Amino acid sequence: MPDTIYVLNGPNLNLLGLREPDIYGHDTLDDIAGMLEDRARDLDLKIDMRQSNHEGHIVDWLHEAQAEGAKAVILNAGAYTHTSIAILDAMKAVVTPVIEVHLSNPHARESFRHRSHISRAAKGVIAGFGALSYVLALEAAARL
């Protein structure tokens, strides 16, 4: 049975393709899921992709990823990247490696986006490549 990679997406990512396409691109979350599913098959991995606008769901899913024996988590925490100590604490509480991912480059944007709380507990960070950021994160997860 293939290893599972959880792909967790935070607030407003359900609006990808519609929300500020000049920053986030035209790909929807479903488009990204399709790209990941295709690549995951090649890597003999299984994707479990989820999105929530609620911080507690992301915390619960991080706990679940560990409980279910996931190989890794790819996490785009959206705005929670810059605000959530709860998600940071959940990442520190689990042994499952978490790869932080961003569609845009937060360091090329507003100054409040330059700080990531969750980076402190992330195995690595991939940012600025649009939907390709997720595929690159999956490639990294496969090699862990």
pLDDT in tens, 83-123: 899 999 999 999 999 999 999 877 756 676 668 899 999 99
Q: Are 71 and 5 in contact (CB under 8 A)?
A: yes
- Identity of the amino acid at 93: A
What pTM value is reported for the model? Answer: 0.93
Say which residues have a Cβ less than 8 Å from residue 15's Cβ, sequence separation at least 6.
none
Reading the block at residue 12, the tokens are 């407003």
Number of Cβ within 10 Å of residue 68's Cβ equals: 12
Catalytic residue set: 24, 102
pLDDT at 21: 67
Number of Cβ within 10 Å of residue 20's Cβ equals: 11
- Identity of the amino acid at 11: P
pLDDT at 85: 98
Mean pLDDT of the chain: 93
pLDDT at 2: 87
55-59 contact pairs (CB < 8 A, 24+):
55/10, 55/80, 55/84, 55/86, 55/87, 56/86, 58/8, 58/10, 58/84, 58/87, 58/90, 59/86, 59/87, 59/90
Percentage of the chain exceeding pLDDT 70: 94
Residue 30: band (very low, low, confident or very high) from pLDDT cuts 50, 70, 90 = very high
- In this prediction, residues 75-81 reach a mean pLDDT of 95
pLDDT at 113: 65
- In this prediction, residues 28-42 reach a mean pLDDT of 97
Q: Which is more confidently placed, 132 or 24?
A: 132
